[in-house]
C-alpha cells in the first residue's frame, strides 16, 4: 500500500467516523426518553427505514466477504447475495406486518407475549445473543484486516476502532441516532462500492478485458512480490522458479532463485517471495486450486457434496434472514404493520442495487489480486483492487472511498447488533431503563471480543453464514409458527429452540474452536441448516401437538391481533 493510498484511506476513515459521530450527537440531542433511545419513537418512514435496514444488513460479509469468496470459490458463491435478497421477500411475506402488530420490541417479547412463558423467553434471549455474537465476530475481524491491509496497523487496532465508535454511537443516541447513521451509511456504502467498480470495469476493458475464467489455475500477471507475515502452508499447482528472502520449507534463504516443485510447501514466517509473470499462484492450505472452467461453473466440483452444501447454505441464508434480531427490531421503528410491510418490500430493491458489485470485484480479483489466494486474506480483495489496477493518486482516492465504505459496513452492522442484544438483555432484567441498556451494550461487545483472539483466520462471509444458520434453526421456526399457527405451545417452542438452536450453536463453536475438518464432517458442521431447520420445525410441531392442552387460551385472539390491520382494531 502506498503512502498516498494510506493517507487517502485514513482521511476517508476520519471523515466517516466524523459523520457517524455528528449523526450520533444529533440523535443524542433529540433523545428525551428511554423509548427514544430504544425505538426512535416509532416515527421512521418506510424508505428511510428500508435504507437503514439495507445499511444494517450490508456488513463486513456482504461488503468484503462476498468478493473474497467469489475470488476463491467462484460461481458457487454468487448464490449467497441472491439468497439474502430472497430472504427479505420471505421476511416480508411471513413475518414483518404481524410482528409489528404484536407491538413486541424484541423477539423475546414476542415469544413471551405469544406463548405466555418466561422459560421460552429466556431460551429466545440466549439464541438472540448467540446470533448477535456470531454476527459481530466477522465485523471485528474485518475491521482488523482492513486497517492492517491499509496501514499496517496491528489487527487489534481495527477491533478497538469499531468497538469505540459503536460504544459512542449506541450508548449516546441509541436507536434514534443509529437509524440516521445506518440509513446514511447504506448510501455511503453503495456509492463507495459502485463508483470504484465502474472505474475498475472501464480500466479492465481498456486493459484488454482478459477473461477471469479463461486460463487454467490462476497465474500472476506481472512480477509480484508477496510478503508472508506468519507461517503458511500452501499448495503449488505446478513447478515454479521464484526468488525468496526468508524461510521456505524450513530452510532460510537470502534472495536466491529457487525451483519449487508442485505440491505442498511451507513459507515464512517473515518471507518475501518474488513470482515471475505467468507463475501459477500457490493456494493457502484450506483453498483448493480450481481451473477457470471449474471456477466459473456453479456447483462444478464435488457433485453430491457440493449440491448439498449449496442447498444447505442457501436455506440457511433464506430462513436465517427471517430471524435476524437486529433487522426485526428495525421494523419496530415503523408506525404500523402496514408501513413495516412496505419497508420490507423496499429492502430487496435496495439490496439488488448493491449486490452486483461485490461479485464484480471478486471476478476482477482473480485477474489482478491472485496473491490473496496465497496469503489467504480474501477479505482484502475489494480493498486492494483499486491500487493494483490503477497505481497513483487516482487509485489512492478510490482506495479511500472503498475503505470508507468498508468501515461504514463494520460500524453500522455492529451498532445494529449491539442495540439488538442490549435491548433484548435489558428487557429481561427487573429494572429496565438506560442503565440496563448500557450494561447490555457492554456485554454485547465484550463476549465476542473475548472469543476473538482464540479463533483462527476465518472468512467474514463464512462466520456470518454461521450466524444466519443459528437464526434459521431457532428464531425463524418460532416466528413463522408463532405467527401463523395457533396450536404452538410453550413446550413445543422450547423444544424446537433448544434442539435447533443448541445444535447449530454447537456446530458453530466446534467449527471455530476445533477446526479445520475435512470431508462430510466439515460439510455438516459448516452447513447444518438443511438438517437442523426442518428438525426444529418438526420438533416444535410435534411437541406442540403432544402438549395440545397447553395451547394458550388467548391464542385465537393473539393471532387475530397479529393479522388484523390497525384501522380495524383501532376503530
Partner 1 sequence: MADRRRVVVSGATAARARALPQAAPDPGGGPPGAEPSGAGHDPAGRETADTDPPDPPCPSCSVSFPLAACAGEPAGRGGDGAGLAQARALIRVQLRAALTTGATVMIVVTGLPLLLALAPALGRLRADGVPLAWAVLALGIQPVWVAASLLHLRRAEGAERALTRQTSRAAPPEHTAPTGGTAPAGRRGPVGRAGPAGRR
Q: Which is nearer to partner 1, 202 or 560 (CB)?
A: 560
Q: Which is nearer to partner 1, 399 or 465 (CB)?
A: 465
Q: Shortest gap between Cβ of 399 and partner 1 (angstroms)?
A: 24
Q: Shortest gap between Cβ of 198 and partner 1 (angstroms)?
A: 15
Judged by DSSP in three states, 237 sits in coil
CB 59 within 8 A of CB 354: no
Q: Which is nearer to partner 1, 239 or 293 (CB)?
A: 293
Q: Shortest gap between Cβ of 182 and partner 1 (angstroms)?
A: 13
Q: Which is nearer to partner 1, 104 or 466 (CB)?
A: 104
Q: Which is nearer to partner 1, 179 or 414 (CB)?
A: 179
State phi, psi for 249 to the nearest 5 degrees. 50, 35
Q: Shortest gap between Cβ of 94 and partner 1 (angstroms)?
A: 5
- Please give the Cα distance from 40 to 176 (Å, whole number): 4
What is the DSSP secondary structure assignment for residue 279, as one 8-state letter?
P
Q: Which is nearer to partner 1, 38 or 232 (CB)?
A: 38
Q: Which is nearer to partner 1, 42 or 286 (CB)?
A: 42
Q: Shortest gap between Cβ of 305 and partner 1 (angstroms)?
A: 12
Q: Shortest gap between Cβ of 208 and partner 1 (angstroms)?
A: 12
Q: Shortest gap between Cβ of 158 and partner 1 (angstroms)?
A: 29
Q: Which is nearer to partner 1, 179 or 387 (CB)?
A: 179
Q: Which is nearer to partner 1, 40 or 507 (CB)?
A: 40
Q: Shortest gap between Cβ of 480 and partner 1 (angstroms)?
A: 9
Write down how long the chain is.
571
Q: Which residues lie closer than 8 Å to 314 by C-beta, 6 or more apart?
A: 79, 80, 83
Neighbours of 449 (CB within 10 A): 17
Residues 388-419, buried b or exposed e (16+ Cβ, 10 A)?
bbbeeeebbbbbbbbbbbbbbbbbbbbbbbbb
Of 161, 197, 118, 131, residue with least CA distance to 401? 197
Q: Which is nearer to partner 1, 96 or 369 (CB)?
A: 96
- Please give the Cα distance from 265 to 422 (Å, whole number): 46
Phi-psi region of 299 (alpha: psi -120 to 50; beta: other; left: phi over 0): left
Q: Shortest gap between Cβ of 320 and partner 1 (angstroms)?
A: 14
Q: Shortest gap between Cβ of 189 and partner 1 (angstroms)?
A: 17
Residues 505-521, buried b or exposed e (16+ Cβ, 10 A)?
bebbbebbeebeeeeee
How big is the chain by its Cα radius of gyration, in Å?
24
- Please give the Cα distance from 121 to 111 (Å, whole number): 6
- Please give the Cα distance from 61 to 505 (Å, whole number): 19
Quote the distance between the C-alpha of residue 354 and its chain's center: 14
Per-state percent for the chain, helix, strand, coil, to nearest 5: 70, 10, 20
Of 407, 419, 414, residue with least CA distance to 173? 419
Amino acid at each position: 500500500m502506498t503512502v498516498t493510498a494510506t493517507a487517502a484511506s485514513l482521511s476517508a476513515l476520519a471523515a466517516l467516523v466524523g459523520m457517524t459521530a455528528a449523526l450520533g450527537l444529533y440523535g443524542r440531542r433529540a433523545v428525551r426518553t428511554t423509548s427514544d433511545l430504544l425505538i426512535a419513537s416509532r416515527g421512521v418512514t418506510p424508505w428511510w427505514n428500508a435504507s437503514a435496514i439495507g445499511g444494517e444488513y450490508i456488513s463486513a460479509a456482504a461488503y468484503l466477504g462476498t468478493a473474497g469468496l467469489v475470488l476463491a470459490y467462484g460461481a458457487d458463491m454468487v448464490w449467497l447475495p441472491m439468497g439474502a435478497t430472497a430472504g427479505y421477500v420471505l421476511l416480508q411475506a411471513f413475518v414483518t406486518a404481524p410482528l409489528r402488530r404484536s407491538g413486541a420490541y424484541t423477539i423475546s417479547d414476542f415469544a413471551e407475549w405469544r406463548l405466555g412463558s418466561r422459560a421460552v423467553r429466556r431460551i429466545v434471549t440466549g439464541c438472540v445473543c448467540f446470533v448477535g455474537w456470531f454476527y459481530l465476530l466477522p465485523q471485528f475481524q474485518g475491521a482488523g484486516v482492513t486497517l492492517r491491509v491499509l496501514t499496517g496497523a496491528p489487527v487489534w487496532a481495527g477491533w478497538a476502532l469499531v468497538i469505540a465508535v459503536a460504544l459512542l454511537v449506541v450508548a449516546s443516541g441509541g436507536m434514534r441516532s443509529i437509524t440516521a447513521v445506518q440509513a446514511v451509511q447504506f448510501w455511503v456504502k453503495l456509492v463507495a462500492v459502485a463508483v470504484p467498480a465502474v472505474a475498475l470495469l472501464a480500466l479492465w476493458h481498456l486493459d484488454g478485458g482478459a477473461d477471469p475464467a479463461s486460463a487454467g489455475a490462476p497465474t500472476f500477471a506481472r512480477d509480484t512480490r508477496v510478503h508472508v507475515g506468519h507461517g503458511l502452508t500452501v499448495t503449488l499447482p505446478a513447478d515454479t522458479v521464484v526468488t525468496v528472502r526468508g524461510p521456505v520449507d524450513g530452510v532460510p534463504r537470502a534472495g536466491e532463485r529457487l525451483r519449487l516443485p508442485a505440491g505442498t510447501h511451507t513459507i515464512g514466517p517473515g518471507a518475501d517471495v518474488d513470482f515471475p509473470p505467468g507463475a501459477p499462484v500457490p493456494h493457502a492450505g484450506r483453498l483448493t486450486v480450481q481451473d477457470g472452467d471449474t471456477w466459473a461453473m456453479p456447483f462444478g466440483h464435488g457433485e453430491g457434496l457440493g449440491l448439498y452444501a449449496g442447498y444447505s447454505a442457501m436455506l440457511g441464508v433464506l430462513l436465517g434472514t427471517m430471524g435476524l434480531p437486529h433487522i426485526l427490531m428495525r421494523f419496530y421503528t415503523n408506525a404500523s404493520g402496514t408501513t413495516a410491510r412496505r419497508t420490507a418490500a423496499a429492502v430487496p430493491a435496495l439490496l439488488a442495487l448493491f449486490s452486483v458489485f461485490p461479485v464484480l470485484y471478486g471476478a476482477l480479483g482473480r485477474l489482478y489480486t491472485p496473491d490473496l489466494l496465497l496469503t489467504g486474506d480474501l477479505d482484502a480483495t475489494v480493498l486492494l483492487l483499486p491500487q493494483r489496477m490503477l497505481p497513483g493518486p487516482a487509485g489512492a482516492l478510490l482506495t479511500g472511498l472503498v475503505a470508507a465504505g468498508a468501515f461504514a459496513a463494520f460500524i453500522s452492522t455492529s451498532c445494529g447488533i449491539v442495540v439488538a442484544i442490549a435491548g433484548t438483555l435489558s428487557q429481561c432484567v427487573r429494572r429496565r431503563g438506560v442503565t440496563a441498556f448500557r450494561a447490555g451494550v457492554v456485554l454485547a461487545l465484550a463476549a465476542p471480543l473475548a472469543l476473538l483472539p482464540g479463533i483462527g483466520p476465518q472468512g467474514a462471509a463464512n462466520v456470518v453464514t454461521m450466524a444466519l444458520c443459528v437464526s434459521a434453526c431457532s428464531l425463524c421456526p418460532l416466528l413463522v409458527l408463532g405467527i401463523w399457527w395457533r396450536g404452538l405451545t410453550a413446550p413445543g417452542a422450547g423444544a424446537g429452540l433448544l434442539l435447533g438452536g443448541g445444535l447449530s450453536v454447537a456446530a458453530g463453536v466446534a467449527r471455530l474452536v476445533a477446526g479445520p475438518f475435512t470431508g462430510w464432517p466439515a460439510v455438516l458442521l459448516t452447513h447444518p441448516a438443511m438438517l437442523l431447520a426442518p428438525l426444529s420445525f418438526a420438533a416444535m410441531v410435534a411437541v406442540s401437538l403432544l402438549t395440545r392442552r397447553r395451547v394458550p387460551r388467548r391464542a385465537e385472539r393473539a393471532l387475530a391481533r397479529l393479522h388484523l390491520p390497525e384501522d380495524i382494531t383501532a376503530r
